[in-house]
Structure 1
Amino acid sequence: MTAATGKGLRDPHGLRVLVTGASGTFGRAICGRLAAMGAHVVGLDVAPRPDDPVEVLACDLTDDIDVPRAVAAAVERLGGLDLLINNAGIGGPAPAALPPGAEVRRQLDINLLGAWRVTAACVDALVESRGRIVMVSSRMAVMQLPLAAAYGASKRALVAYADALRLELGTHVGVTCVYPSAVRSPIHDSTAAAGLSLEGMSSYEPLDGVIDTVLRAGSSKRVHRDLSTTRRGAVEFFLARHLPWVTDRIIARTLAARARNGAFEGAELAAGVVRRHRDRR
């Protein structure tokens, strides 16, 4: 039984859904699953693919003009809007100790401001339908990993934005944040290419569990505030929220071991981390 057909969940048949990042790993799976369950789904993506499982409109989430145009076209095709899934996101190397450059701005613009632009363009339709918003955040919104400061900052800011939306729209629109851990997908490619792979820093989880949780967030009769995607993720979420010194210590020790063992050998962006750990000996 999937998370979208269990007890306490609404039938998604006929649900009018807009999904951002619809041509990516998560987006294609979300769109395909919803469409198979009878929902009417339109996607937005900067680079739609010919084999996308639903109609995907080309949209640059960093463009203040393109976003409301694409959202209006999607809502018109759907005949209204019941559920917005802000799934679009990118990652990349961004050490916190280095000045913010184009990579940092790109992640913040897509992961945070892209969701903000799309949501703002959807508000009227969602209020009219008493709809839902699902934010695909990240475990890194509460438990930051080193050398990827922009991604964690963008996802933590996305949660803060969701909190503000909940206060402003909560009388009419439900808002849920979903917190996946790492899933094997191309989002990690640029980090790995820079020599800053997450291997050894994070445990990977199956994609299906993430999709189940996203659908649960959008289909549950009761609006959930926060949803983790695994039991381990729920424990990490609790610890990071209530005992952050515990998760800080675990991550710091793991980083130190990786730096000493040569995991960042030749990685220019990690040179400072390696040097500081070497100088502690």
Structure 2
Amino acid sequence: MALTLRGRRILLTGASGTFGRALTDRFLALGAHVVGLDLVPAATAPAPILRCDLTDDAAVPPAVDAAADLLGGLDLLVNNAGIGGPAPAELPPGAEVRRQLEVNLLAAWRTTAAAIPYLERSRGRIVFVASRMAVLPLPLAAAYGVSKRALTAYADALRLEVGSHIGVSVVYPSMVASPIHDPTTTAGLSLDGVSRYEPVSGVVAAIVHAATATRAPRDVATTTRGRVELAMARHFPSLAAGLVTRTVRDRIAAGALNDAPLAEGMLRRAR
């Protein structure tokens, strides 16, 4: 029998973004109490959003404490904040790589550490929003894939430490239409034709499932196709890599990367 979100006290990071807004609406509709954290709080949000730079070690603990004070405790933390952008693995890591690691991995780590005392008392749950790219990486987006794979490794380690009292789940969305893809598109590295778009509603439903299942699930795909891809990436990694390689080769042949300076190495080798 599934649990209910009615009356549950939820802290949501990245509350002003595409997933954050949809999650807030869904949580409130299910009777939960929500406080968000975001670098730029939305002006017309239906629930309080506290301004917080999640990459700032000193800013996160007081922001989590303030959210817990508003809610009267915490029952659920959803680590949703994340950013994307192009970062070829063959090039040295620069500011873009460090920024993605900070936001996608270390921000969740900081927020979780600050929330653990509250969640231990309530025997609550933590849901990490990762990405299918954590297990099925794509070329030219190494920072995003690395940060999300590291996030799942962090969740696995955390589960071993706190799993007796706190449920820990990881959700794996694929590609959803949102501004997170704008930097990649601007760089001429659109993922159109490589990943399939999926609806935001599916991601929201997967997160709600992780939060309300009788026993916190370890890994949650957001679509049927996602479940197949997760299984294939884990059990048949060579096959999964071969499919991605073939898709990228077809895009190169079609000239889809001709205007992308960051793909110069791949294009040179393909020729």
Pairwise TM-score range, normalised by the shorter structure? over 0.9
1:32 and 2:51 equivalent?
Answer: no
The counterpart of 2:205, out of the listed 203, 206, 212, is 212
Residue type of the partner of 2:129? V
**Which residue of structure 2 lines up, in the alignment, with residue 162 of structure 1?**
155
The Cα of 1:237 is off from its aligned counterpart by 0.2
Instruction: Report deviation, 1:91.
Output: 0.2
Corresponding position of 2:256:
263
Partner of 2:109: 116
Q: How does 1:2-151 map to 2 (within 5 A)?
A: 8-151=1-144
String of CA shifts for 1:19-38, please: whole Å, max 9, x gaps.
00000000111011101211
Worse-matched range after superposition: 140-149 or 252-261: 252-261
Instruction: Give aligned-pair identity as a percent.
Output: 61
Aligned amino acid, residue 54 of structure 1: A
Deviation at 1:217, TM superposition (A): 0.4
Contact 1:260–1:274 (Cα < 8 Å) also in 2: no
Instruction: Note the C-alpha offset of 1:17.
Output: 0.3
Distance 1:26 1:226 in 2: 18
Residue segments in structure 2 that go unaligned for 5+ positions in a row: none
Segments of 4+ moved more than 3 angstroms: none
- What one-letter code is carried by the residue in structure 2 that aligns with 1:85? V
Q: Equivalent residue of 1:92, what SS?
A: coil
Report deviation, 1:201: 0.6
Residue 175 of structure 1: aligned partner: 168
1:240 equivalent in structure 2: 233
5+ residue gaps, structure 1, are 1-7
**Local SS of the residue matching 2:93:** coil
Give the Cα separation in 2 of the matches to 1:220 and 1:238: 21
Root-mean-square deviation over aligned CA pairs: 0.6
Q: What is the TM-score of this pair, normalised by structure 2?
A: 0.99
Number of equivalent positions: 271
Q: Which moved more, 1:172-181 or 1:251-260?
A: 251-260
3-state SS of paired residue (2:241): helix
In structure 1, how many angstroms separate the alpha carbons of the residues matched to 2:105 and 2:25?
25
Structure 1 counterpart of 2:76, one-letter code: L
1:102-160 CA-to-partner distances (Å, cap 9, x unmatched) read 00000000000000000000010000000000000110010001110000000000000
1:150 counterpart letter in structure 2: A
CA displacement at 1:264 relative to structure 2? 0.9
Offset at 1:53? 2.1
Q: Secondary structure at the match of 1:214?
A: helix
Partner Cα distance (1:218, 1:180) in 2: 16
Matched position secondary structure for 2:25: helix
